[in-house]
Amino acid sequence: MLNVTYSNPTALTLGFGELTSMKYLYSILVLGGFVIVVTLNVVVVAVIWLNRSLHKSMYIFICMLCFNGLYGSVAFFPSLFVNLFWKTPTISYAGCLIQVFCLNTYTGYELSILTIMAFDRYVCICFPLRYKAIMSIPNVLRLISAACLAVVLPFTVHYILTLRLPLCDSAIVKIYCDNWSVVRLSCTDTSWNQISGLVLTVGFLVVMPALILFSYAMILRACTKSSKQIRAKALQTCSPHLITITNFIADRLFEVILHRITLNNVPYWLMIFMSVYVYVVPPLLNPLIYGLKLKDVRAKIIWLIYQ
């Protein structure tokens, strides 16, 4: 039996395909999008951070959501912008692995924060008299810390399983690195990676949405026993979160389904659109939804602009 040694490539080729034919237009859009996303999220984070009157559970979670948007955008946009100018878009193997970890934890943080926000709304509407005691600042910080651990620990295990894989190819279909795209390049058995990926998918795209649905089922139940005015207020309070979570989970589910389909059967434009959607639209929508929809945040932003 021959002993075969594998050497991982120093660089991986990204699947920019037709995008390079209009690279200047796309580079302007990418740069403009990055500037807008960073500006909007920084403004919301700064407004909440600098105003003690906004140091409440709901606004702290909004701040974390926008901060996570910055984290995901920094991991995604710069690499995309630079590669639009390369004749053969590539990324170093080490850079690819860093991007894998950052983008995976970004999506995990987003779902974790949205789940906690659903719980926050549940406590606020169903237990209004105990809300301040349950969602005190120390408890909020504990929830945020638990959410970080719930993301970092399982994704670190998943990441280590990917690090151990020798690669036989260097061509990634997507325009960025994600875990499954790297695993597909391996020339050895990836059963453990697939099991780990399945566990994470169930945990983040089944368990967390189920917890969110439970929270809103309890909210709906409480609203049916309340006055019309209270129901209207509850809808106004929950609508930004519902828009955000529906938007995010729908894209993630589509992306999981897309992984299970032969990529040759999927139109190139659709594959690109759905693969970048979650890293472009949520970081753009979150500060707009919460910055413009919520009166307190909007008032502070307007005050900051005119000072």
| Tens of each residue's pLDDT in the chain, 307 residues | 444 455 566 778 887 766 767 778 888 888 999 999 999 999 889 888 888 888 888 889 999 999 999 999 999 999 888 888 777 788 888 899 999 999 999 999 999 999 999 899 889 888 888 999 999 999 999 999 999 999 999 999 999 999 888 888 888 878 888 888 888 888 888 888 888 888 888 888 888 889 988 988 888 888 877 777 767 767 777 777 778 888 888 878 777 776 665 555 667 777 777 778 888 888 988 888 877 667 777 777 777 666 6
Check residue 270 and give its pLDDT.
Answer: 74
Structure tokens at 181: 């795209």
Closest among 282, 277, 276 to 70, alpha carbons compared: 282
- Give domain limits for the chain: 13-163+170-305
- Cβ(73)–Cβ(110) under 8 Å? no
Check residue 278 and give its pLDDT.
Answer: 84
Cα(85)–Cα(180) distance, integer angstroms: 25
Structure tokens at 275: 């693969």
Cα(240)–Cα(305) distance, integer angstroms: 23
Cα(55)–Cα(200) distance, integer angstroms: 32
- Cβ(88)–Cβ(184) under 8 Å? no
Measured CA to CA in angstroms, residue 256 lies from 87, 91, 182, 205 at distances of 30, 23, 15, 10
* CATH topology (fold) of 13-163+170-305: Rhopdopsin 7-helix transmembrane proteins (1.20.1070)
Structure tokens at 258: 């897309």
Closest among 57, 59, 58 to 49, alpha carbons compared: 59
Cα(181)–Cα(171) distance, integer angstroms: 9
Structure tokens at 203: 């945990």
Cα(38)–Cα(71) distance, integer angstroms: 10
In the DSSP assignment, the letter for residue 92 is E
Residue 207: other Cβ atoms inside 10 A: 12
What DSSP string describes 233-284?
HHHHHHHHHHHHHHHHHHHHHHHHHHHTS-GGGS-HHHHHHHHHHHHHHHHH
In the DSSP assignment, the letter for residue 167 is B
pTM given for the model: 0.87
Check residue 8 and give its pLDDT.
Answer: 67
Structure tokens at 285: 């929508």
